């Protein structure tokens, strides 16, 4: 497959058509005759071909839509990790009057002035550019919608739609034929990792990529009520073309959770069945095949929908099945968005009031759950049609292999383990204090619009301090980090020295749940877990035993209480007899020589 690259983003205001013309002359831009594609990518081609647009083609197509119909506006957001911009395509019932194309604030202005009172949907495509069904589906859907007559059934009268045509611009530009080894088309596509080889769908809390900065900026500008991230599955074979990860309802909480389970999911599943694309929950198989059941996916805030749930947004990940023809995957993804739109025609107001209720719940919560685990004693089940499978001799390995027989199906109810229970709950303090020294963490919070005030002067405050008693770090890098597993945390109230400019962060703000989950050391995707505070977890000063022996002797002689505590400790630690260094270590830690900040988590809470 041809790889096309351009030196830099050429699409600046007013340049769109000129640049397009130059690119076409140079043979670099739109599809060429040898691709067998029409240069305008009409809806049929987007849906019926085995091709997906390159980044350049997607931008050109988006620009053309915005030029042709002013209900569409194309906005250039910040830069991706390869320097080219990420775009947002906004589709509203009213024509864009300002034609301001620069930045997320232009999107926000347009939504605020022209989209008021309606539900807003954000659709993210090609976070994994090898899974581009949503790119084709979104462009085809927008073309369909723009051709519809105005009236109460027009989707734009029910909702504001914001599309990110291609999010992982760097990955999209690594065009190749084959890295999706098990996937049935398209003929060429981008690569999963971004320019820094990051999986952007693990990057929403740690924000290592510029893409994540752009996303977070857009997300807060749009403040979507519904979010959809489009993907293609991996894993088992089965007849369904579309599967769905709804943000985990128990993790979503007591307002969003039941709404998702009882109102939204039945409508979406029923709608998809009526459209001829019966859908099942994402097949995360318990065993080798789906027959043994599937497990509900817990998408913590590192994932897009886990992140959007922190802000009360209803999040969905569509996972079209990798072995179905690309054209079918595109159609099923498009149908999902259409079904969602149809549902919003009647239920948009319900979504808006649910979201207000969720905001009230979080604002009033004295405690928030920050960690969940699969329930052992509760299970759901789901009707499922699967392919017969068998294990047979492998000519390749001479061992056994799995083979699905797609001519034979079975239908039954299979276990669906999708009940999660909280495994850690945190008190929400009135405020947190984050010293300015931890500026990488501060920057993440600021990127999310967190309100914080600098302390006006140096001070000592009595605050709740967490000590990380026990933790482990990953031996191998994972997404650019060595994430920590926090095993135990102790808490005490202590005086803490703070300085002018350290940050006081009130919990009474929109970011309340976000703050609880990125600042709690017990949360799945806390900034602590992602190594933002690693230097706090290393002791800086040590002692030499032969010197400290004499110091310890003096200490014990002068402090009766210490003598008694030491004697008690000796009785519970008989192993000290064989390892006197451990006894000395205990005395060192009990002495004023030991640094009080060892393993002290440097985010403090009001007591």
**Whole-number minimum distance, CB 231 to Zn ion, in Å?**
3
By rule CB under 5 A, what string of x and - marks binding of each residue 431-450 to Zn ion?
--------------------
What does the DSSP assignment read for 144-207?
HHHTSPSSTT-GGGTEEEEEES-S-HHHHHS-BSSSSTT----SSB--SS-TTS--GGG-TTT-
**Whole-number minimum distance, CB 152 to Zn ion, in Å?**
36
Stretch that binds Zn ion, among 33-41, 114-122, 131-139, 467-475 (CB under 5 A): 131-139
- The pair of structure tokens assigned to 73 is 């506006």
Task: Using the CB atoms, write b or e for 27-39: b if 16+ within 10 Å.
Answer: eebbbeeeeebeb
User: Which residue from 213, 173, 171, 193 is spatially nearest to 79, judged by alpha carbons?
Assistant: 213
User: Which residue from 251, 245, 528, 507 is spatially nearest to 371, judged by alpha carbons?
Assistant: 251
How many residues lie near Zn ion (CB under 5 A)?
A: 3
The nearer residue to Zn ion, 319 or 525, going by C-beta atoms, is 319
The nearer residue to Zn ion, 235 or 607, going by C-beta atoms, is 235
Phi first, then psi: give them for residue 587, nearest 5 degrees: -65, -35
**Whole-number minimum distance, CB 130 to Zn ion, in Å?**
8
Torsion of CA 552, 554, 559, 563, to 10 degrees: 50
The nearer residue to Zn ion, 132 or 483, going by C-beta atoms, is 132
Stretch that binds Zn ion, among 86-94, 224-232, 263-271, 498-506 (CB under 5 A): 224-232
User: Which residue from 115, 450, 116 is spatially nearest to 311, judged by alpha carbons?
Assistant: 450
**Whole-number minimum distance, CB 529 to Zn ion, in Å?**
22
**Whole-number minimum distance, CB 133 to Zn ion, in Å?**
10
**Whole-number minimum distance, CB 39 to Zn ion, in Å?**
29
- The pair of structure tokens assigned to 265 is 């999911």
**Whole-number minimum distance, CB 232 to Zn ion, in Å?**
6
118 binds Zn ion (CB under 5 A): no
Contacts of residue 435, Cβ cutoff 8 Å, sequence gap at least 6: 498, 499, 502, 503, 602
The nearer residue to Zn ion, 128 or 524, going by C-beta atoms, is 128
202 binds Zn ion (CB under 5 A): no
Residue 425, classed as helix, strand or coil, is strand
User: Which residue from 316, 238, 333 is spatially nearest to 284, judged by alpha carbons?
Assistant: 238
128 binds Zn ion (CB under 5 A): yes
Stretch that binds Zn ion, among 69-77, 129-137, 175-183, 433-441 (CB under 5 A): 129-137
Please list every residue from 64 through 103 that binds Zn ion, using CB under 5 A.
none
**Whole-number minimum distance, CB 380 to Zn ion, in Å?**
24
The nearer residue to Zn ion, 243 or 389, going by C-beta atoms, is 243
Residue 273, classed as helix, strand or coil, is helix
Stretch that binds Zn ion, among 22-30, 223-231, 566-574, 582-590 (CB under 5 A): 223-231
Select from 81, 96, 131, 502 the one that contacts Zn ion (CB under 5 A): 131
302 binds Zn ion (CB under 5 A): no
231 binds Zn ion (CB under 5 A): yes
CA distance readout (Å), 233 to 133, 435, 481, 510, 565? 11, 42, 25, 33, 59
- How many helices (H) and strands (E) would you count in the chain? 17, 19
Q: Is the dihedral of CA 580, 584, 585, 590 positive or negative?
A: positive
Stretch that binds Zn ion, among 44-52, 139-147, 229-237, 525-533 (CB under 5 A): 229-237
**Whole-number minimum distance, CB 183 to Zn ion, in Å?**
11
**Whole-number minimum distance, CB 397 to Zn ion, in Å?**
28
Stretch that binds Zn ion, among 80-88, 127-135, 290-298, 415-423 (CB under 5 A): 127-135
Residues that bind Zn ion (CB under 5 A): 128, 131, 231
């Amino acid at each position: 497959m041809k790889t096309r690259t351009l030196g830099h983003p050429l699409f600046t205001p007013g340049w769109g058509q000129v640049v397009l013309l130059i690119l076409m002359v140079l043979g670099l831009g739109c599809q060429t005759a040898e691709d067998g594609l029409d240069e305008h990518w009409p809806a049929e081609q987007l849906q019926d071909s085995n091709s997906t647009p390159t980044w350049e083609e997607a931008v050109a197509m988006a620009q053309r839509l915005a030029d042709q119909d002013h209900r569409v506006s194309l906005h250039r957001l910040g830069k991706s990790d390869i320097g080219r911009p990420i775009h947002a395509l906004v589709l509203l019932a009213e024509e864009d009057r300002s034609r301001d194309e620069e930045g997320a604030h232009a999107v926000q202005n347009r939504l605020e002035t022209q989209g008021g009172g309606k539900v807003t949907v954000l659709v993210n495509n090609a976070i994994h550019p090898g899974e581009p069904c949503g790119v084709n589906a979104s462009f085809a859907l927008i073309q369909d919608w723009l051709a519809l007559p105005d009236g109460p059934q027009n989707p734009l009268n029910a909702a504001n739609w914001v599309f990110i045509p291609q999010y992982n611009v760097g990955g999209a530009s690594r065009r190749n034929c084959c890295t999706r080894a098990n996937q049935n088309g398209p003929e060429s596509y981008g690569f999963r990792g971004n320019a820094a080889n990051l999986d952007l769908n693990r990057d929403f809390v740690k924000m290592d990529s510029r893409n994540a900065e752009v996303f977070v900026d857009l997300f807060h500008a749009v403040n979507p009520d519904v979010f959809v991230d489009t993907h293609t599955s991996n894993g088992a074979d089965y007849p369904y073309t579309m599967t769905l990860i709804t943000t985990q309802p128990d993790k979503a909480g007591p307002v969003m959770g039941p709404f998702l389970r009882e109102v939204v999911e039945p409508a979406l599943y029923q709608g998809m069945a009526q459209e001829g694309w019966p859908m099942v929950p994402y097949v995360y198989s318990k065993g080798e095949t789906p027959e043994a059941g599937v497990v509900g996916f817990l998408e913590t805030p590192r994932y897009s929908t886990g992140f959007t749930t922190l802000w009360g947004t209803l999040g969905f990940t569509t996972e079209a099945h990798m072995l179905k023809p690309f054209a079918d995957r595109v159609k099923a993804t498009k149908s999902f968005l259409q079904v969602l739109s149809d549902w919003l025609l009647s239920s948009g107001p319900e979504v808006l009031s649910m979201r207000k209720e969720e905001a009230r719940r979080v604002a009033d919560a004295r405690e928030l759950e920050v960690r969940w685990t699969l329930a052992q004693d509760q299970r759901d089940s789901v009707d499922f049609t699967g392919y017969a499978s068998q294990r047979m001799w492998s000519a390749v390995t001479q061992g056994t292999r799995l083979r699905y027989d797609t001519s034979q199906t079975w239908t039954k109810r299979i276990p669906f383990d999708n009940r999660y229970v909280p495994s850690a709950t945190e008190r929400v303090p009135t405020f947190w204090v984050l010293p300015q020294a931890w500026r990488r963490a501060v920057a993440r919070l600021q990127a999310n619009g967190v309100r914080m005030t600098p302390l006006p002067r140096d001070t000592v405050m009595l605050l709740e301090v967490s000590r990380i008693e026990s933790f482990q770090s990953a031996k191998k890098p994972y997404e650019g980090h060595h994430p920590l597993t926090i095993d135990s945390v102790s808490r005490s109230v202590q005086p803490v020295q703070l300085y002018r400019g350290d940050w006081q962060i009130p919990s009474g703000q929109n970011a309340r749940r976000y703050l609880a989950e990125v600042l709690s050391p017990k949360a799945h995707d806390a900034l602590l877990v992602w190594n933002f505070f690693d230097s706090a977890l290393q002791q800086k000063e040590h002692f030499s035993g032969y010197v400290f022996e004499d110091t310890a002797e003096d200490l014990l002689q002068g402090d009766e209480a210490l003598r008694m505590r030491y004697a008690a400790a000796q009785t519970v630690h008989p192993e000290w007899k064989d390892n006197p260094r451990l006894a000395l270590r205990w005395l060192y830690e009990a002495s004023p020589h030991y640094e009080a900040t060892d393993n002290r988590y440097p985010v403090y809470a009001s007591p």
